[in-house]
Structure 1
Amino acid sequence: MKRIIAGVSLVELLVVLVLAGILLGAAASAYHDVMRRQQLRVAVNDLVAAIDLTRSHAIARGGPVMLGPLEPSGRDWAKGWIVFVDANGNRRPDAGEQRLFQHGPLPAGMTVVSAFSSGGTPLYLAYNGAGRSCAASNSLSARWGTLSLARGDDARNIKINMLGRLRVCDPAIDRVNCGGVND
């Protein structure tokens, strides 16, 4: 009787393991890029939703509602943001003021830069009762600008026009119409 021995040689096993390692390395890199882009997409959608909420509450209230960085100095959007009714006009959410929504910090490595027609700190975005973006000190004064979110080489700009309407664009795809933060 002849006996057939089935098995895998050590060389064959090593070749399979090397190939699996190469494929796993390529897949891990691609997965990391996909996760980075997805985190940016989620952050942009969350900020757009907060802007829409600010505008809709201003229209519903018939008066100004603000969106600003959550961080105490009001300079860093990446640490989160808050939608609130600024009763005392200092552009910061204080005790006793109505807080409508609050978003926590963004993932590490994500940056948010803002540039609006009237600068200064604390940073903010305000809407008046007509649903138009406005200055905090004067609800009839138009205020427009850009919020730019970036993670690595990927970036998205949220452009807010004089009427308070927004659009999201990718400056890598449409540099002319999307431009940078200061456009």
Structure 2
Amino acid sequence: MFPAIRRAHPFTNGRSMRGFTLLELLVVIAIVAILAALAAPPFGRLIATSAVTGHVNDFIADSRYARSEALRRGTSVTMCRSTDPDAASPACATDNAAGWESGWIVFVDTDSNNSRGAGEQLLRVHARMGDSGGIRKVGTNNYNQLRYRATGWAIAANATLRFLPQGAGAQADMKQGRTVCISTLGRVRSLPSADAICNGS
């Protein structure tokens, strides 16, 4: 008769297995919660800053598109703030109470009156931005619209818009925002921080 062969369990290596105790598990959970709480504010700021960047890129892209269409068509093309961009026939805003976060439209402004009339072709529509802290003009001039002549020049001399992050309130939040400058020549550019100064160039 052959002697019995004893085999060690491959996972125990001859020693008993041991798991986490309840106390150890609670300590790990507490550490994870603390780290998550510390990471939340920077992550929130990152999301807000990313949203602002997206809004600025959309605004600049559509304004450049409006300018290129004015040059190509040989007529005025207007980009205006709209309070009803999702309507079947969206129109330019007539008040000066809100900012561009309500949305905007780009259209062929045949009669160059900064208002979309019957028969004027709609080229682009940008919906309302729910994750915006506001897109505000600087100064007392009405910047509800940006019209480009057939020459590509802009009818909004030295306009300045502040793009703010959602929930903006403190001065520190301005650093997460952006400033968009529109020159008389129709050049549109962005500057870091929502409190930057446009020099008109």
Same fold (TM over 0.5): yes
Structure 2 unmatched runs, 5+: 1-13, 84-92
| 2:189 equivalent among 162, 167, 171 | 167
Report the more deviating stretch, 26-35 or 152-161.
26-35
Deviation at 1:109, TM superposition (A): 4.4
- Residue 58 of structure 2 aligns to a residue whose secondary structure is helix
In structure 2, what is the equivalent of residue 85 of structure 1? 108
Q: Which letter does structure 2 place at the counterpart of 1:18? A: A
Q: Does the 8 Å CA contact 2:108/2:120 hold for their aligned counterparts?
A: yes
Cα RMSD, aligned residues only: 2.6
Q: Which letter does structure 2 place at the counterpart of 1:110? A: G
| Equivalent pairs, count | 168
Alignment of 1:29-68 (within 5 A): 29-68=41-80
| 2:164 equivalent among 145, 150, 154 | 150
Q: Which letter does structure 2 place at the counterpart of 1:68? A: C
Structure 1 unmatched runs, 5+: 136-142
TM-score, length-scaled by structure 1: 0.80
Report the more deviating stretch, 23-32 or 158-167.
23-32
| 2:120 equivalent among 83, 94, 97 | 97
Q: Percent identity?
A: 31
Give the Cα–Cα distance (whole angstroms) in 1 for the partners of residues 114 and 163 of structure 2. 22
Q: Does the 8 Å CA contact 1:65/1:84 hold for their aligned counterparts?
A: yes
Give the Cα–Cα distance (whole angstroms) in 1 for the partners of residues 61 and 132 of structure 2. 22
Give the Cα–Cα distance (whole angstroms) in 2 for the partners of residues 7 and 24 of structure 1. 25
In structure 1, what is the equivalent of residue 151 of structure 2? 130
Deviation at 1:66, TM superposition (A): 0.6
Give the Cα–Cα distance (whole angstroms) in 1 for the partners of residues 95 and 61 of structure 2. 20
Q: Which letter does structure 2 place at the counterpart of 1:179? A: I
| 1:22 equivalent among 34, 56, 59 | 34
Report the more deviating stretch, 88-97 or 143-152.
88-97
In structure 1, what is the equivalent of residue 4 of structure 2? none
For the structure 1 residues 89 and 129, does the alpha-carbon distance in structure 2 shift closer, same or farther, using more than 3 Å as the test? closer
